[in-house]
Amino acid sequence: GIQVEQSPPDLILQEGANSTLRCNFSDSVNNLQWFHQNPWGQLINLFYIPSGTKQNGRLSATTVATERYSLLYISSSQTTDSGVYFCAVPEETSGSRLTFGEGTQLTVNP
Amino acid sequence: DVKVTQSSRYLVKRTGEKVFLECVQDMDHENMFWYRQDPGLGLRLIYFSYDVKMKEKGDIPEGYSVSREKKERFSLILESASTNQTSMYLCASSLQARRYEQYFGPGTRLTVT
């Protein structure tokens, strides 16, 4: 099956700093999702981004499907950005299933 | 906005009990999923369903069963709870037309003592 790798595994920032999270995948995909898991455990949809660039406030994401990676940018980070960020791609041979990366644990300190 | 709800945020059960975890979505999604999440193991798919009364095994179905009698509701059943089923359980749903865009509920943190 498809392999998904995220980097870095852990990231510690001061409030106000910018960051880039990376998601690499081993095969071509036609969809990709970014999620934020908040400290209470819920996964929040950030982006559904098969290709190109999308922006939502201080967050933006870019997927370059031909080169098999996606980037999540967080600008002017806030303490509420803390949590785990996951990317997920489809398992094409398995219907609607997703393969998740192992996540990036982000801590934003005040 | 899509809303996925789960019956409990926290649940404590005893070994051997039958446990029901309920998930409801309000967006007429065809697909529904149950995952468990454990430290170091990531998200693992237990079961999923494409339609009412349809179910398919995921990666770790042993010790679990599911029920989907209505389109909006997907139940996960632990027939006889064991301590190794202590975990965070996450439900998700997706529309078949955008089947890879999954929406998650708030999760149920289950402890089996």
CATH code: domain of residue B55: 2.60.40.10
Mean pLDDT of chain A: 93
pLDDT of residue B100: 78
Average pLDDT over residues A92-99: 74
Expressed in angstroms, the distance from the first to the final Cα of chain B is: 37
Query: The tokens 């170091």 sit on which residue?
Result: B40
Whether A45 and chain B come into contact, CB under 8 Å, resolves to yes
- Distance in Å, alpha carbon of A110 to nearest chain B alpha carbon: 26
Say what the pLDDT of residue A94 is: 59
Q: Do A96 and B50 touch (CB under 8 A)?
A: yes
The arithmetic mean of pLDDT across residues B18-33, rounded, is 95
Tell me which of A103 and B41 has the higher pLDDT: A103
Domain count, chain B: 1
pLDDT at B2 over 80: no
For A29, the closest chain B residue by CA position comes to B100
B31 at interface of A, judged by CB pairs closer than 8 A: yes
Mutant choice from A44, A96, A99, A102 vs B, greatest count of B C-beta within 10 A: A96
Choose which CATH entry (2.40.50.140, 3.30.465.10, 2.60.40.10, 3.40.50.2300) describes domain A4-109: 2.60.40.10
The pLDDT value recorded for residue B82 is: 98
Cβ atoms of residues A33 and A88 within 8 Å: yes
Q: Per residue in B28-80, pLDDT tens?
A: 999 999 999 998 888 999 999 999 989 999 999 999 999 999 999 999 999 99
Q: What is the pLDDT of residues A10-21, one digit of tens each?
A: 999 999 999 999
To the nearest whole Å, the CA of B46 is away from the closest chain A CA by: 11
Distance of CA B42 to the CA centre of its chain: 15
Residue B40: predicted pLDDT: 85
Render pLDDT for B81-113 as a digit per residue (tens, 0 to 9).
999 999 999 999 998 877 778 999 999 999 999
Tell me how crowded residue B44 is: count the other CB atoms within 10 A of its CB: 15
Q: Pick A7 or A92 by higher pLDDT.
A: A7
More confident residue, A15 or A94: A15
Q: Does A71 touch chain B (CB under 8 A)?
A: no
Is A97 in Cβ contact with B101 (below 8 Å)?
Answer: no
DSSP B23-41: EEESS--SEEEEEEEETTT
The answer, for B39 touching chain A at a CB cutoff of 8 Å, is no
Pairing type for strands B103-104 and B42-49 reads unpaired
List the domain boundaries for chain A.
Answer: 4-109
Which chain A residue's Cα is nearest to B103?
Answer: A45
* Confidence grade of residue A93 (pLDDT, cut at 50, 70, 90): low
Question: In terms of Cα–Cα distance, which of A84, A72, A110, A102 is closest to A11?
Answer: A84
Contact (CB<8Å) B100/A42: no
**Residue B70 belongs to domain spanning:** 4-112
State the pLDDT at residue A90.
87
Contact A40/B at CB under 8 A: yes
- For residue B13, is pLDDT > 80? yes
Looking at this protein, which amino acid is placed at residue B101? E
